[in-house]
Amino acid sequence: MNNADDLSVREQAARELLARYVRVVDDPDRVEEWPDLFADQAEYRVVTRENLEAGLPISVVCDDTKDRIMDRVTVIREFWGAGGRLEDRHYNQVRPRHVVGPVWTEPQEDGTVRVVANFVVWGTPTTDPAPRLLALGEYRDVVEFTARGPRFRSKWVVLDTPVLQDVFVYPL
Amino acid sequence: MASVLPRTVQGPPVPLRWPPEDNRIPREIFTDPDLFRWEMDAVFTGPVWVLVGHEAEIPQPGDYKTLSVGAVPVIVVRGADGQVRVLVNACAHRGARVVEGPRGNVLKGGFRCIYHMWTYAPDGSLLGVSLPDDFPVEFRKEDYGLPRARVALYKGLIFASFHEQTPPLEEYLAELTQGMDRVLGDGRLRYLGSIKVIFRTNWKLYVENIYDGYHVTALHTGFQVVRLRSHGGQRLVPNYERNGHLWGQSRSTRREELQPVLRDMSLFDVRTKPTTDHNMMVVFPSGVVTDYFDTIQLRYVLPLAVDQTLIEFTFFARADDPEDVVRHRVRQGPAVLGPAGAITLEDAAALERVQQSSVARGDNVILKGTPKRFPPYRHVDEAPIRHFYQAYRRLIGVPVEEGTP
Ligand code: FES
Ligand SMILES: [Fe+2]
């Protein structure tokens, strides 16, 4: 395989990882699969463009280790999810739907691939008549190639809206 | 009532039903748009001090930020002289919003209105207008500054009032100053950033939720999962005869004794305080000040509509914190007390449900702790909510009858 082929294979693999990510975060029943989409040393951050551009360190979500990424599942299922009792969940049932694209990929010298993609997340509540805009912005990701296959080394979710339109239960 | 702003409505919408028992809250007050309009005047521009920021958010001369006091858009700005002022963010000419961004610095150039290029100094005075020929001869720039609110500071906290008869700040806060001393220390803080989120609920439901100690164990399941409990504590209502603030105090289980359910338990760490005592305070009507765990947080409650409230969560470190402590605060704050926090999101869900069903009419009832008539209450009581509504009723002109507390 020549170098150009290798580059396009990596870019394709990074795109496929993103597609898999979207399938997982769109499905409230699959949140347990979400941490495995990250490398062993990884970060997941949700930040507003406003704080980012002002150089302010506060994030909406600051899962800066794999441990914290795994803890998010526990928080969703146990803390907010009342130990998994569907009828007692302490959040509103809103089914997320990610619309992602276009996707830009940029292979890096160190073998990783930088992925940037626009996204919109809609939430469809079970009770309300209308869907809600949950989030709007861009992903800024770094995908690395581990023994387990392509995984996110970092995923930055940069929100365009300085005001969050709702609270988020599931990962963005 | 004297106010520096003209009022649009002259009294509460009639008829406003209010049950005689002070533990019953009529649900109409969460859905009536006329009442909402009246509250913006009678409560937010009434004789109250509204929390609008901390000095650490605007440390340099010319630094400013924008938010609102009830329905009035304001600019909180540090002048070239170092003094903090609160200006109405509406041009004195034909009313355009003068400042667009959330934050910035105005030292160079002043605030310039885009519509006809009137320019204001950081203190709100009108510096210049474009093409003033053919203006009436009596036009004087001194008459056209941006209206200013009264401003008072306590430990760096910035309060604004649009009412001439608001008592001095420390009298208004009463014993709440002691809680602020505990949280703010010498008042020197470093601003770390804020998170703003829309809650689909009436502003009063958001605020009363903080007075409510009853929901804490029931709703915030995370506390049960890690076996975090309150080892004593109380709910005080400073100045309940008049404005009814909240000062909730609790001592929580030490991290070493918690169930290590999370891989990273630093969420529940207390590294910067000698004990695990927390303070959760509401400055009536709409300011929140807390030092939960190691998180120093202010919240500004901004009513958008009768059923929508913007909450701005702002986070701080102490001015002389070493970098590793700052980093810990940055990791902990939003993870606990923010829109994606382990113990905040449930409130949004519960309050949205209360809001949605308020159209059902009838009364919400406050029970736990109510056999006691006056503070202090137990930490788990919801009784303090009564005092919030008593203060509220005095302002909107539906006072509680004499003889009932
Ligand atoms: S409205 Fe501002 S200059 Fe005319
Ligand atoms: Fe709560």
- Give how far B386 is from chain A: nearest CA, Å: 25
d(CA B76, CA B87): 7
Q: What residues contact A122, with CB distance under 8 A and at least 6 apart?
A: A96, A97, A99, A131, A132, A133, A134
Mean pLDDT over the full length of chain A = 93
d(CA B266, CA B293): 10
User: Residues of A with CB below 8 A from B105's CB?
Assistant: none
Contact in structure between B62 and B122 (CB atoms under 8 Å): yes
Three-state DSSP class for residue B278: strand
Q: Which CATH number fits domain B48-174: 3.30.420.10, 2.102.10.10, 2.40.30.10, 2.40.50.180?
A: 2.102.10.10
Q: What is the pTM of this model?
A: 0.96
Compute how many other C-beta atoms are within 10 angstroms of the C-beta atom of residue B103: 17
- Hey, which residues 149-188 in chain B have their CB within 8 Å of chain A? none
Per the structure, the complete domain to which residue A96 belongs is given by 3-159
Question: Looking at residue A63, which CATH number applies to its domain?
Answer: 3.10.450.50
Q: Is the pLDDT of residue A76 over 90?
A: yes
CB-nearest to A75 from B191, B222, B331 is B222
Of the listed ligands, the closest to the CA of B118 is 1
Contact in structure between B291 and B183 (CB atoms under 8 Å): yes
Residue A88: pLDDT band (50, 70, 90) is confident
First-to-final CA distance of chain A: 36
User: Residues of A with CB below 8 A from B264's CB?
Assistant: 65, 67-68, 71
| Residue A4 confidence (pLDDT) | 65
Q: Is the pLDDT of residue A87 over 80?
A: no
Determine the residue type at B127.
Answer: L
Give the residue from B45, B283, B277, B249 showing the smallest Cα distance to B153.
B283
Give alpha helix (H) positions in B196-307: 203-211, 215-219, 221-225
Convert the pLDDT of each residue in B350-377 to its tens digit: 999 999 999 998 999 999 999 999 999 9
CB-nearest to B334 from A59, A65, A75 is A59
| Residue B16 confidence (pLDDT) | 83
Element at A45 (helix H, strand E): strand A38-48
| Domain B188-396 CATH superfamily | Naphthalene 1,2-dioxygenase Alpha Subunit; Chain A, domain 1 (3.90.380.10)
| Residue B90 confidence (pLDDT) | 98
Contact in structure between B228 and B378 (CB atoms under 8 Å): no
Q: Give the ipTM of the model, two decimals please.
A: 0.95
When divided into structural domains, chain A yields a total of 1
User: Residues of B with CB below 8 A from A92's CB?
Assistant: 349, 352-353
Q: What is the mean pLDDT of residues A99-108?
A: 96
In this complex, is the C-beta atom of B264 within 8 Å of any C-beta atom belonging to chain A?
yes
In this complex, is the C-beta atom of A104 within 8 Å of any C-beta atom belonging to chain B?
no
Q: Is the pLDDT of residue A85 over 80?
A: no
- Domain spans in chain B, listed from the N-terminal domain onward: 48-174, 188-396
d(CA B279, CA B284): 16
| Residue A81 confidence (pLDDT) | 86
| Residue A3 confidence (pLDDT) | 67
Residue A84: pLDDT band (50, 70, 90) is low
Domain annotation covers residue A169:
no
Q: What is the mean pLDDT of residues A108-120?
A: 97
| Residue B2 confidence (pLDDT) | 43
Contact in structure between B163 and B45 (CB atoms under 8 Å): yes
Instruction: Give me the residues paired with residue B220 across strands.
Output: none
Q: What is the mean pLDDT of residues A156-161?
A: 98
Say whether B340 and A74 touch across the interface (CB within 8 A): no
The pLDDT tens digits along chain B (405 residues) read 345 566 555 667 766 889 999 999 999 999 999 999 999 999 999 999 999 999 999 999 999 999 999 999 999 999 999 999 999 999 999 999 999 989 999 999 899 999 999 999 999 999 999 999 999 999 999 999 999 999 999 999 999 999 999 999 999 999 999 999 999 999 999 999 999 999 999 999 999 999 999 999 889 989 999 999 989 899 999 999 999 999 999 999 999 999 999 999 999 999 999 999 999 999 999 999 999 999 999 999 999 999 999 999 999 999 999 999 999 999 999 999 999 998 889 999 999 999 999 999 899 999 999 999 999 999 999 999 999 999 999 999 888 765 554
Say whether B349 and A90 touch across the interface (CB within 8 A): yes
Output the six-digit token pair for B387.
């005092």
d(CA B314, CA B333): 9
Q: What residues contact B274, with CB distance under 8 A and at least 6 apart?
A: none
Give the residue from A101, A116, A107, A109 showing the smallest Cα distance to A158.
A116
Q: Is the pLDDT of residue A133 over 90?
A: yes
Nearest CA to ligand 1 atom 1: B94
d(CA B216, CA B380): 8
